[in-house]
Amino acid sequence: MPILFGIVLQSLYATVDAIIIGRFAGKEALAAIESVYTLTKLPVNFFVGLSTGATIIISQYFGAKKLKEVSNACHTALLFAFVGGLLLSIIAVIIAPFFIKLLKVPAEIYDQALTYVIIFFSGLAASMTYNIGAGIFRALGNSKTPFYFLIIANIINIALDILLVASFGLGIVGAGLATVLSQFICGVLIVIALMRTDLPCKIYLRKIRFNRICLQEFMRLGLPVGIQSTLYPVSNMIIQTSINTFGINSIAAWAVSGKLDFLVWYVSDAFCTTISTFVAQNYGAGQYDRAKKGVVVGASIAVLLVGLVSVGLYFWHVPLGRLLVTDNDVIQILSQIMFLFAPLYVLYVLGAVMPGAIRGMGESFRPMIITLFGSCLCRVLWILFIVPFRPTLMMVLSCYPVSWGITSVLFLLFYRGYVPKLRNQEA
């Protein structure tokens, strides 16, 4: 649950920026932030995916009680996050103008969008340091400490937004600085906590250096996840292009549905992370049956929680939707979307959770292939070859539940075949 609440809090950075910018800086500033939201997520998604490899390796070492290896991996991971974040900041700032033009950001908000992106990317080192530090704590079973720091960072972010944007009138610059400064404080706090902890992940500044073996393992497990996290939004951009052809009401209804069903994705992501850590610890300790039971329990809880969210959205999406938009035409389309999606959200869960279990056992390449095929390629093929037979909005959106079902079935089949084979190899 701390991981789930942490994911929700992290998403509030952009939400708070948008609310305060829209209220105090005007619609142009709000449009500038929203127009580059996908761009700001790409490098972050890539590096968070890379950090997954570090979390899994540290969990396996901890489960096997290889405390020296735990220490080496933690020191390597922290240096990797800081150096990688700096390099990523430089690269992202350099290529930002090209990608903003590629996104066809309107000329009247181009300068504001570019300013926000440059400020945002300048803080990647702090953001990456926090993410890797949080992953280290979670690898050893402590998910509360990173959550507490996120609470502090969000309070600081809101306070700075109000001060810099609402009081000082700095607009885009103020929103960007508020986000970067709050992330910097969060990164500093996580490093201080790692230096003061009594867990085997304790950090000593004199020991911070790269360990070649650890770095190779991080890349082996983390790179496929990073690539997957970067490519995943591409298929969604193609689908969004198709949705855009149905007009403003359809675009607005789809946007509102995305604001309502966020818990489906957050619950699934949280339990994917949890199961990955749990399996990695028990796999490292040789407790294969316990790891297997953990997968069943974790997946069952995720399915139950998503099922409860689905029931709520099916019956109460109209009053919830009216909190965001009052247009009756938009609400009518929203109802069509929810009646299609709500009964089928549970199909998504296993396809999102099972990769965490498989990565926890030390395999990340094949889960990447399955996800890219089931959740990306299938959607693109659906848009290209199925939608033309019946070009309606609901037919376009049907690619999502179809891809959820395919991905979940593929992961179940792979898991059933992979676990016995892995156990035989270990034996």
Q: Where are the domains of the chain?
A: 1-210, 223-427
CA distance 239 to 420: 38
- Say yes or no to pLDDT of 215 above 80: yes
H-state helical runs in 286-398: 288-322, 328-341, 346-360, 365-371, 378-381, 393-397
- pLDDT reading at 421 higher than 70: no
pLDDT band with cut points at 50, 70 and 90 for residue 308: very high
Summary mean pLDDT of the chain: 86
Instruction: State the pTM of this model.
Output: 0.80
Return the percent helix, strand and coil in the chain, to nearest 5: 90, 0, 10
What pLDDT does residue 119 have?
92
pLDDT of residue 354: 92
Distance CA 30, CA 35 (A): 9
Q: How far is CA 78 from CA 54, 122, 138, in A?
A: 10, 18, 14
Percent of the chain topping pLDDT 90:
35
- pLDDT tens figures, 336-360: 999 999 999 999 999 989 999 998 8
pLDDT of residue 300: 95
